[in-house]
Amino acid sequence: MIQTIKKAFLALALVAAVGAAGEASAEILINGAGATFPYPLYSKWFSEYAKVDKSVKFNYQSIGSGGGIKQISAQTINFGASDKFLTDAELKGAPGKLIHIPTVMGAVVVTYNLPGVSSGIKLNSEDLANIYLGKITKWNDPRIADDNKGINLPAKPIIVVHRSDGSGTTSIFTDYLSGVNAEWAQKVGKGASVKWPVGLGGKGNEGIAGQIKTTPYSIGYVELAYAFENKLPYASLKNQAGVFVEPSIKSTSAAAAAAVKHMPADYRISLVNQPGKDAYPVVGFTWLLVYENQKDPAKGKKLVEFLNWSMTKGQKMAAPMLYAPLPDSVVKMVQKTIKTIK
pLDDT digits (tens, 9 = 90+) for 209-230: 999 999 999 999 999 999 988 8
> What is the C-alpha to C-alpha distance for residues 120 and 148, in angstroms, rounded to an integer?
8
pLDDT at 59 over 50: yes
> What is the C-alpha to C-alpha distance for residues 322 and 238, in angstroms, rounded to an integer?
20
Q: If pLDDT is split at 50, 70 and 90, which confidence band does 7 have?
A: very low
pLDDT at 18 over 90: no
User: Which residues, including other chains, have CB under 8 Å from residue 163's CB and lie 6 or more apart?
Assistant: 64, 169, 170, 201, 202, 203, 204, 207, 208
pLDDT higher for 60 or 27? 60
Dump pLDDT digits (tens) for 311-327: 999 999 999 999 999 99
Instruction: Output Rg (C-alpha) for the chain, integer angstroms.
Output: 23
pLDDT higher for 215 or 256? 215
> What is the C-alpha to C-alpha distance for residues 107 and 96, in angstroms, rounded to an integer?
31
* 4-9: average pLDDT: 40
Does the structural domain 29-106+285-339 have CATH classification 3.40.190.10? yes
Q: What pLDDT does residue 63 have?
A: 93
* 88-100: average pLDDT: 94
Three-point CA angle 111, 115, 120, nearest 5°: 50
pLDDT at 6 over 80: no
Spatial CA neighbour of 36 closest among 289, 215, 268, 286: 286
Q: If pLDDT is split at 50, 70 and 90, which confidence band does 24 have?
A: very low
Spatial CA neighbour of 170 closest among 72, 67, 243: 67
What does pLDDT average to over the chain?
A: 90
For the chain, the domains span: 29-106+285-339, 107-244
The structure's pTM equals 0.85
Q: What pLDDT does residue 26 have?
A: 52
Query: Is residue 124 within 8 Å of residue 163, measured between CB atoms?
Result: no
**Pairing mode, strands 236-238 and 122-123:** parallel
Q: What pLDDT does residue 2 have?
A: 40
User: Which residues, including other chains, have CB under 8 Å from residue 141's CB and lie 6 or more apart?
Assistant: 127
Class of domain 107-244: alpha beta
Q: Which residues of 232-241 are buried (b: 16+ CB within 10 A; e: fewer)?
A: bbbbbbbbbe
pLDDT higher for 17 or 192? 192
Distance, C-alpha 42 to centroid of its chain? 10
Spatial CA neighbour of 313 closest among 6, 47, 29, 21: 47
Query: Is residue 169 within 8 Å of residue 108, measured between CB atoms?
Result: yes
Query: Is residue 182 within 8 Å of residue 78, measured between CB atoms?
Result: no
C-alpha to C-alpha distances, 341 to 38, 49, 307, nearest whole angstrom: 23, 20, 11
Polymer length in residues for the chain: 342
> What is the C-alpha to C-alpha distance for residues 114 and 220, in angstroms, rounded to an integer?
12
